[in-house]
Structure 1
Amino acid sequence: MTMQRRIGRSGGREKRALGVQAILEWAFRIEKAQLELPERRDDEEAGFGFGLEYVLLQRAALGCKIDGGRHKIGSSTHPDAEVVAAAVAGLPDSRGGIRMAIRVAELARAGLTPDWMPGAVPRCVPVETKRNQHGERSTTVVVGTERVLHRGKWRSVEVLACPVTWYPHPGQIEGARRGYEDWWRALNWVRDGLVAGGMLREIEVTVVLPKLQPWLPRRCQ
C-alpha cells in the first residue's frame, strides 16, 4: 500500500491523505478490521442495518462526532479502520450489497485488485488434443462420408473435422471486466460515504480511484 502526502491536522496530528483503495487495504490488511454485517430484520422493523448510514444517523442525533464510530473497548483495531469497515458493511443492494461488501473486504485484506484478465484475447483452439510419439495433434471426429473415385474405383471415405472453441471465451473476459467495474463502483460509493461522513480522525480521503476500465487504451480513458 502506497502512502500519499500528508495534509491537514487532527488533534495536533497530521492527517494522512490516501485514496480509497489504499484506505481499505490499510483498514483490513494492516489494522485487521472485521466486517460486521447487519443482521436480517423483519419487514415490520424500521431502521437501517449497521453500516455507514447507522453511524451517520447516530452522529446526527447526538449533534456531534462519534470518535471512531463503533470502536470496541479493548480492541487493537484503529477507530478509523472500524469506521471504514462500517462503511463497507453498509453497501446498498444497488452496489452489490453484502456479497460485494465481502468481496471488497477480502480483496483489500489480500492487497489485490479484481482480475480483469489483462491482455486476454480470444483464440480459436482445438476442443481436445492428444499426444503420442509423433507429438501433439488435434482430436478429430467423423462428420460424414463421401464417395470418391480413386484409381478407377469408387470408395467411401470418412470426412473428418476438428472441433474448435474460443479460449478464453469472450463471455469469460466480459464477465471478469464487468465484475471489476462493479467492484470499482462499490469503491466509489465507499469513498463518497467516507467523505460525506467526515468521521475519520487521522485520514483524509482523496479523490484517487483505480482506473474504471484499465483495459481500454490510455487515450480512451
Structure 2
Amino acid sequence: MTVQQALEWAFRTECAQLELPEPPDPERDQGFGFGLEYVLMQRAALGCKIDGGRYKLGDYTHEDAEVIAATVAGMPDDLGGKRMAIRVAELARAGMTPDWMPGAVPRCVPVDMKRNRYGDRAVTVVVGNERVWSRGKWRTVEVRTCPVTYQPHPKQIEAARRGYCEWWKALFWLKKGLQVGEMLREVEVAEGMPKANPGTLI
C-alpha cells in the first residue's frame, strides 16, 4: 500500500495512538525509561511477536500500525515536528487529503449585498460630498463607492497550497523512513505518492 494508505490503515482502521515525546522535565527526568522507538527496535531485533499482555482482543493494535505511529511521532522539526505529526495523524484518521483549493481563482466581489424587490444590489457607502452645477444652480451630491474584497483571498490560496506541500514532504519522509527502516512485518510501503504539485491539477 502507499504511504497515505498505510497511514489511514494505521490510524483509522487499527486506531493507533500518536504518542508524542513529552518536553524534557529536569525534576522528573532521571535518565530512566525507554522511548517507543527503542522498544520497537528491540522487538525487531528479537525476531518474534511479543504478547503485550492485553486482556481483550478488541484492544489489540497491529504491531505494524504501532511502528507507523511511532515513525510519525518522530517527525523532524524541519518538517514541522509535533505540529505536523498531529496533522498527518488527524488527516489519516479522517481519511482526508489537505484541501489545496483546486481551481480557486480570486474574484473581486462586493463586501456586502442587500436584497430588495428589484433583486440583489451591492451595498455602497458615502465617501464624501461634491458640489456640482445642475439645472442652473449649484447642488451638493453624495459621492458613493462600493467596497470590494477578493474571495478567496490570494493569501488564503497560497496558504492552502503551502500547507499541502508541507504535508506532502512529511509523507515523503515517512515513506522513505518506513521503507529503509525495514521494521514493518506484514505491511509493505509502495512507491506511490499523492500529487507533488497540486497546482498542476487546476
1:85 aligned to 2:46? no
Contact 1:35–1:89 (CA under 8 A) maintained in structure 2: yes
Partner of 1:10: none
Correspondence for 1:112 among 96, 121, 124? 96
Correspondence for 1:121 among 98, 105, 118? 105
| CA displacement at 1:134 relative to structure 2 | 2.1
Letter in 2 for 1:195: Q
Q: CA RMSD in A?
A: 2.6
Secondary structure, in 3 states, of the residue corresponding to 2:140? strand
Partner of 1:12: none
Partner of 1:152: 136
Partner of 2:78: 94
Note the residue ranges of structure 1 that are not aligned, 5 or more in a row. 1-17
Cα distance change on mapping 1:67 and 1:20 into 2, 3 Å: farther
Identity percentage over the alignment? 59
| CA displacement at 1:215 relative to structure 2 | 1.9
Letter in 2 for 1:103: R
Partner of 1:22: 5
Looking at structure 2, the residues matched to 27 and 125 of structure 1 have their Cα atoms a distance apart, in angstroms, of: 44
Partner of 2:158: 174
Q: Which has the higher strand share?
A: 1
| CA displacement at 1:73 relative to structure 2 | 3.4
Partner of 1:64: 45
Looking at structure 1, the residues matched to 146 and 128 of structure 2 have their Cα atoms a distance apart, in angstroms, of: 13
Partner of 1:137: 121
Deviates more, 1:157-166 or 1:141-150: 141-150
What are the Cα deviations for residues 5-58 of structure 1, in whole angstroms up to 9, with x where unaligned? xxxxxxxxxxxxx110010011111111111111212479889x9465x457x4
Letter in 2 for 1:25: E
Partner of 2:177: 193
Cα distance change on mapping 1:63 and 1:177 into 2, 3 Å: closer
Contact 1:66–1:199 (CA under 8 A) maintained in structure 2: no
What are the Cα deviations for residues 124-167 of structure 1, in whole angstroms up to 9, with x where unaligned? 00011111222211110111222211111111111110010100
Looking at structure 2, the residues matched to 203 and 211 of structure 1 have their Cα atoms a distance apart, in angstroms, of: 22
Cα distance change on mapping 1:90 and 1:72 into 2, 3 Å: farther
Cα distance change on mapping 1:72 and 1:149 into 2, 3 Å: farther
Looking at structure 1, the residues matched to 161 and 30 of structure 2 have their Cα atoms a distance apart, in angstroms, of: 38
Partner of 1:34: 17
1:207 aligned to 2:191? yes
Letter in 2 for 1:73: G
| CA displacement at 1:92 relative to structure 2 | 1.3
Looking at structure 2, the residues matched to 150 and 71 of structure 1 have their Cα atoms a distance apart, in angstroms, of: 94
Contact 2:75–2:81 (CA under 8 A) maintained in structure 1: yes
Q: Which has the higher helix share?
A: 2
Contact 2:161–2:198 (CA under 8 A) maintained in structure 1: no
Q: TM-score, normalization: structure 1? A: 0.79
Looking at structure 2, the residues matched to 155 and 180 of structure 1 have their Cα atoms a distance apart, in angstroms, of: 57
Looking at structure 2, the residues matched to 24 and 180 of structure 1 have their Cα atoms a distance apart, in angstroms, of: 16
